[in-house]
Structure 1
Amino acid sequence: MALLQMLARACFTVMCFIQNLLPCIKGRIPEPGRWLHALLDVIHRGENKLFKLESLTDFYHTYGLFRFENKVYIFDPKLTQTVINKLEKGAGDYLENSPLKDTFLGSSSRSPEIRRAIAALFRKSTLEERGGLIIADVDNMCNKIGLEAKEGHVINITDWSLRMAMDVVGHMLLQLDLFAIEGKQEALLECLMTILHRCYALGEITSDSEEFKQANETLQKETTTILEKALQKEDKSTDTRFVIKLHEACGFEQARDNMKLFLMAGSETTASTIPVFCYLMATYARVQDELRQEADENMAALRADPALTLPKMESVLREVLRVYPIAPFISRQTTQQLVVGDVTIGANTDIKAFTWGIHRSSTQWDQSKEFVPFRFLNSGEKSASAMYIPFGAGSRICIGQHLAMLELKLACAIMLNRFKFCKVSETPELRFVTDWAHAVVHPDKDMFFKLEAR
């Protein structure tokens, strides 16, 4: 099989060279034929479909788009920007069976009431002022991890990151102590893993299976309890708490459904990125040392001011989200015929602005498929002008982007300040699975490391 894959890759390279010599046919949306399909099946045998799409991005890079499985994937920056700005998301279909179908993520309105109600909370300055809450949660996680490491255990960074991220959501958004790090949200964590990983990412169960239905019922029950407790909590500040604004904006049921979004998306994104970061640090020891030195030199100042810039850390985090974007595509749908450049796209067409392909395109980036840690530290002209959209773009850009970046910066800096990360036999290779319904990509297995306390 290895020899066959080598031959297939060689054939594909030749085909790419020939394809890129041929003139583009004006107005055409290219689509892979039977032979190209077969070749890619051999090359990417056992891999995520995402990598087949990435290969098609390389193959059709002169066109800037292609059709695959009745969807149009766009990766040319100008075409992508046009599609994002002109079209609404077609969420009604792909979230039909999701617990998030009734959240503002699934809203067809550009400015739903809930988004306006919570906008102030997600302002970068507001989040940075409350960054001490994140630091406290990261410290709590590190204390627990430190005890495990001292006893000689390998550490499941995926699990601990998820617990920490859930507590951050509780403190930053709901003003509640969820105590996930202390082990008091096991039912909620288990149902989230069943829904997001076992069903949507790994495909081990379907959305009409009994396990999924039970997990959904548990999610409903647990989030109802959390919201009830939050509403009953006495306000000790003159500012109206977010959870109250949420409830006033859309009522109990919609508030609960949107709270599911914050718990799922807020926890999942961080818990997917931190293990990837740790894997890369354990792989690139020199980079880990450089970031640790920066963290050590600035730790006191960072704890006093969470908004403090850490140039090297922020460069590395940006690069992690470039080469492994957690949101691999942005979904849009045409309601009528759309003309984009020289291309006419028919009505009722599913369009994917292919972030993964854009971020890993050789026409946009030097060493496009490689992890170049300090790429953004002193961005060259090509990097500065390249399209970079890890949190989406346009009117529906991820509302939690500033929280995610603040949390990642603080968590990664504090963890490196306290521990050295090393691979062990239990550390899996970095491979990904994709949740196509919610547009999320994450490692296919939990990430385990040996941590040496400092």
Structure 2
Amino acid sequence: MDKTLTDNELIAQCVLFFLAGYETSATTMALCLYNIAKHPEVQQKLYLESKRYYEEFKGVDYDVLHSLKYLDAVIQETQRLFPAAVFLERVPNQDYELRGTGITIKKDDIVHIPTYSIHRDPEHFVDPEVFRPERFLADNISHHPYAYLPFGAGPRNCIGMRLAQMEIKLALISVVHQFRFYPSEKPLEYFFTGGLIVPKAVDVRVERRA
């Protein structure tokens, strides 16, 4: 059935686009800095990648920015450990039988997908509590693609995904190029609200690079 967007639906999508692409980006960025502060070897690899990037392009090149593999891996591993949404919900518009299971999801049933738990399941990720960006480098990826869902998947994935990815990449590579980050003695504390992970505070020590 064809459907056009009403004015209210269009406005709602625009509002959601900015909400989904900004607040969660700031949280992910802060958690990336927290993780690399605790893992100086990761921070050094990321710095060397940023150094090569800025030396070659003398500024921002968005196409090349999206090709920086270690930067991607650091962000993806952070989103694995701390997905913005701890669960996803979907509602089918018709009955759907899961092939080979004998299970039928009824129309209008709410399907709850526990993203946080899936991301930390050892069946999908070896040593799931360990921050290890290398697991997301192309030669090391071994998890099922639907075991990693920081933005959801398929046609109903997060509307703010591309904006969020661009913001996080640009911000992270810029600050790592200019500053060093060291862990704080204060432990990371966060809470869950509305299905989102929200840090109470993310404390790191910062030093400008020479």
The alignment's TM-score, normalised by the length of structure 1, stands at: 0.41
Residue 139 of structure 1 corresponds to none
Q: CA deviation at 1:284?
A: 0.6
Cα deviation code 1:219-245 (max 9, x no counterpart) = xxxxxxxxxxxxxxxxxxxxxxxxxxx
> Does the CA contact (< 8 Å) of 2:84 and 2:150 recur in 1?
yes
Q: CA deviation at 1:384?
A: 6.3
> Does the CA contact (< 8 Å) of 2:84 and 2:197 recur in 1?
yes
Q: Which runs of 5+ in 1 are unaligned?
A: 1-108, 114-248
Residues 288 and 112 from structure 1, CA distance in 2 versus in 1: closer, same or farther, beyond 3 angstroms?
A: farther
Cα RMSD, aligned residues only: 2.9
AA at the equivalent of 2:208: A
Residue 371 of structure 1 corresponds to 131
Q: Does 1:447 align with 2:189?
A: no
> Does the CA contact (< 8 Å) of 1:110 and 1:395 recur in 2?
no
Q: Does 1:434 align with 2:189?
A: no
Alignment of 1:145-160 (within 5 A): none
**Structure whose residues are more often strand by fraction:** 2
Residue 7 of structure 2 corresponds to 250
Residue 303 of structure 1 corresponds to 59
SS at match of 1:303: coil
Residues 297 and 433 from structure 1, CA distance in 2 versus in 1: closer, same or farther, beyond 3 angstroms?
A: same
> Does the CA contact (< 8 Å) of 1:365 and 1:386 recur in 2?
no
Residues 343 and 285 from structure 1, CA distance in 2 versus in 1: closer, same or farther, beyond 3 angstroms?
A: same
d(CA) in 2 for partners of 1:412, 1:313: 8
Residue 288 of structure 1 corresponds to 43
Out of 154, 161, 169, the residue aligned to residue 409 of structure 1 is: 169
AA at the equivalent of 2:190: F
Alignment of 1:43-442 (within 5 A): 113=5, 250=7, 255=11, 257-300=12-55, 301=57, 303-308=59-64, 309-333=67-91, 338-340=96-98, 341-345=101-105, 349-380=109-140, 382-383=142-143, 387-425=147-185, 428-436=186-194, 439-442=195-198
Residues 336 and 402 from structure 1, CA distance in 2 versus in 1: closer, same or farther, beyond 3 angstroms?
A: closer
Q: CA deviation at 1:315?
A: 1.1
**Structure whose residues are more often helix by fraction:** 1
- Flag the structure with larger Rg: 1
Q: CA deviation at 1:450?
A: 2.2
Cα deviation code 1:4-56 (max 9, x no counterpart) = xxxxxxxxxxxxxxxxxxxxxxxxxxxxxxxxxxxxxxxxxxxxxxxxxxxxx
Q: CA deviation at 1:258?
A: 4.4
Q: Which runs of 5+ in 2 are unaligned?
A: none
d(CA) in 1 for partners of 2:168, 2:68: 12
d(CA) in 2 for partners of 1:407, 1:357: 26
SS at match of 1:289: helix
Residues 112 and 419 from structure 1, CA distance in 2 versus in 1: closer, same or farther, beyond 3 angstroms?
A: farther
Q: CA deviation at 1:273?
A: 0.2
My pick for the range that moved more, 386-395 or 413-422, is 386-395
Cα deviation code 1:310-360 (max 9, x no counterpart) = 111111111111222112222123567654322345665432122222222
Residues 379 and 429 from structure 1, CA distance in 2 versus in 1: closer, same or farther, beyond 3 angstroms?
A: farther
> Does the CA contact (< 8 Å) of 1:337 and 1:344 recur in 2?
yes
AA at the equivalent of 1:291: L
Q: CA deviation at 1:276?
A: 0.6
| Percent of matched pairs sharing the same residue | 29
Q: CA deviation at 1:375?
A: 1.1
> Does the CA contact (< 8 Å) of 1:313 and 1:413 recur in 2?
yes
The alignment's TM-score, normalised by the length of structure 2, stands at: 0.82
d(CA) in 1 for partners of 2:23, 2:70: 24
Q: CA deviation at 1:275?
A: 1.0
SS at match of 1:382: coil
